[in-house]
Structure 1
Amino acid sequence: MWAMKLPSADTTVVKRTLSTITEHPEGLPGAEETPEYAEHRKNFWSSVKPAHFGVKIASRSLVVLLRSVIMGLSIGLLANSPLGRYLLLRYPEFFSTGLFSRAGPTEEEVRSGSFKMWFVGHGYGDAARALERGGKLDKEVITEVSGPEVGYITTPIVLVQCALVLLTQRGNLPRGGVYTPGTLFGPTDLQRRLQENGMSFDVHGTRSML
């Protein structure tokens, strides 16, 4: 398996979420939240620990990673100018080395598609070890998020369920503003809703690193 670091907005968003929770360890109170939800919110965020987060893209084929690098460089170099954007939109097959096309996927390709995201966490098995100066990480946790085709199926599912949470649980959410998804939806039942609509959140195992 080959992997490389992916310059992704996900990293920035997760860091912003963790920064917000550092400033507000019990989370952001809802505009008109119920006492029961307030207690749930506090318990939820008390279980979230500080973390360093990064995103990598992995493939069994080194060629696939090289094609991704070429596509990323093409977008980075050309997207800042009108002519560059025209070329990217006019010839996506060329600049993505065949990963994208103007035609888009067929319905059968969408139906048969799926995605998996693996999360590998390294940390401490107990708080005492975490407080030790120079203490080594001693625990690994591997989790997975998976679901149907990510662009045409999973993305609409996520957006619709987020909208339903906003519609039905508005009083339990913070007052208007700009928030990261984790800050806003963390304590809600969004994960359950996504699981009921075809997504999976699984813990594959934990192990000692010592």
Structure 2
Amino acid sequence: MLPFKAKVDEGWAIPSLSADLSVMRRTQKYMRLEKDKRPIQIESYLLVKVAWHILLFCVSVSLLGILVKFSYGRRLLLKYPGVFSAGAFSTTKPSPQKLDSAWFRLTIVGNGWRNKLSNIENRYFQKTDGRIVVRVKARNQSYGATSLCLVLAGIMILTEPENMPKRGGVFTPGAAFCDTSLIQQLDKNGVNFEVIETDDETKLCNGKSKL
């Protein structure tokens, strides 16, 4: 729970407050129950460039948590979003130039074992001996990249129904599209997936690590 210096990127890592971690863990539960695959242990962090920004972030989150509990506080947040977000949010429409200059970068670090156990219930007792680092990045994440992901997800449902879950229900994106070509299509259309670090023994198959 305490901030620490990130080893794969510049900045300090603090626990992420988004819903991403819950969604990813739900995906791993699906993989275990539906596909009999060993679930991956996951943690999600937000990188802060400067150490003192962590204090500012904590104060902002605490203030937000207090204000949203009261109707007057919610009205203030809606009326003056720029004041309470240090300019990060605004009621005015962003310019195309500002949208194109915005981007996001997600670094995924995977540590695992090269040799797969024959039984999923068995446990590893030795230290991990394989590593891979993948970077995902795209511009205009709020409008462009999000819209692209939604459109391509719809295309996958229409063109690759045989690769979708066979039963109905509510699925996380990872569970719904894990067997489709969604990642390859995203990579071709501006949401780039790049392997930036891997050891010699970690084999890649169709862009996917065996870890």
Which TM-score applies when normalising by structure 2?
Answer: 0.77
Higher relative contact order (CA 8 A, sep 6+): 1
Structure 1 residue identity aligned to 2:27: T
**TM-score between the two structures when normalised by the length of structure 1:** 0.78
1:166 and 1:55 mapped to 2: Cα distance?
Answer: 28
Runs of 4+ in 1 over 6 A off after TM superposition: none
Deviation string, structure 1 residues 23-57 (Cα, Å, up to 9, x no partner)? 1126xxxxxxxxxxxxxxxxxxxxx6521111111
Shift of 1:170: 3.4
Corresponding position: 1:69 with 2:79: no
Equivalent pair of 1:93/1:99 in contact (CA under 8 Å) = yes
Distance 1:189 1:10, change over 3 A: same
Identify the match of residue 147 of structure 1 among 129, 138, 154: 138
Kindly provide the CA deviation profile for residues 44-78 of structure 1, in whole angstroms up to 9, marking residues without a partner as x: xxxx6521111111132224433433332233222
- Equivalence map 1:22-33=2 (5 Å): 22-25=32-35
Report the counterpart of residue 21 of structure 2 in structure 1: 11
* Partner residue in 1 for 2:45: 56
User: Counterpart of 1:205?
Assistant: 197
Within 2, Cα distance between the matches of 1:132 and 1:49? Answer: 11
Q: How many residues get paired?
A: 185
The unaligned stretches of length 5 or more in structure 1 are 27-47
Matching of residue 165 in structure 1 with residue 156 in structure 2: yes
Mapped partners of 1:207, 1:190: distance in 2: 26
Question: Which residue identity lines up with residue 62 of structure 1 in the other structure?
Answer: A
Identity %, equivalent residues: 30
Q: Distance in 2 between matches of 1:66 and 1:207?
A: 37
What is the distance in 2 between the residues matched to 1:124 and 1:172? 27
The structure with the greater share of residues assigned to helix is: 1
Matches within 5 A, 1:133-144: 133=125, 135-144=126-135
